[in-house]
Amino acid sequence: MAHKFDPQHLERLLSADRLKDIAPKELLGSEGLKAGQVFADVGCGPGFFTLPAAELVGSGGRVYAIDAQQEMLEFLKKRNPPKCVHIVRSEEEKIPLKDGEADFALMAYVLHEVRDQIVFLNEVRRILKKDGILLVIDWKKLKEEKGPPIEERLTEGQTCGFLKKAGFLNVTTSSLNQSHYKIVAVK
């Protein structure tokens, strides 16, 4: 069984240091998230990306904040998200959204925690519209003080391989910062 982030430490997910490493609203906007779209934050945690995404999609869009850990969703509810945010409890192998529901999906720091990456990615692909975008952000395979242990991290090549096996197209990878990479793929 893959290691899961301990919700007792969820304040780390909203820290000022994390905001210095990643500006979520700017990042999502630069990858094409815009007003009126449907955004799926898969593994949303306490909403580090959820709330900035809600600002970008606005009242005419929808944000699905999806997580398997109830503690994360409860914390997000306490943050008073806008009406366009829909909080969804899911299982790893089954996301309770319709086929083709989302224009854009995000998996930030999730894939290395998943039991079966291909099954999981197939499910994320299912909820995306044709030509929908998936943005994956994860930890580079480096030994660092922060983040998961190196043996649990996935290389960019491993992640790209999983995405291609799950049927994603136009898979492009780049460095996000010293610790993280980002991969953009299309359904």
Domains delineated in the chain: 7-186 (3.40.50.150)
Nearest to 51 by CA among 20, 75, 21, 17: 75
> 39-76 pLDDT, tens per residue?
999 999 999 999 999 999 999 999 999 999 999 899 99
Element (H, E) at 159: helix 156-165
The 3-state DSSP class for residue 59 equals coil
Phi, psi of 160 (to 5 degrees): -60, -40
For the chain (187 residues), the mean pLDDT of every run of 10, in chain order, is 52 61 92 98 94 97 96 92 97 93 96 93 98 97 91 96 97 94 97
CA–centroid distance for 86 within its chain:
15
pTM as predicted: 0.91
- Residue showing tokens 């909080």: 87
Element (H, E) at 107: strand 102-108
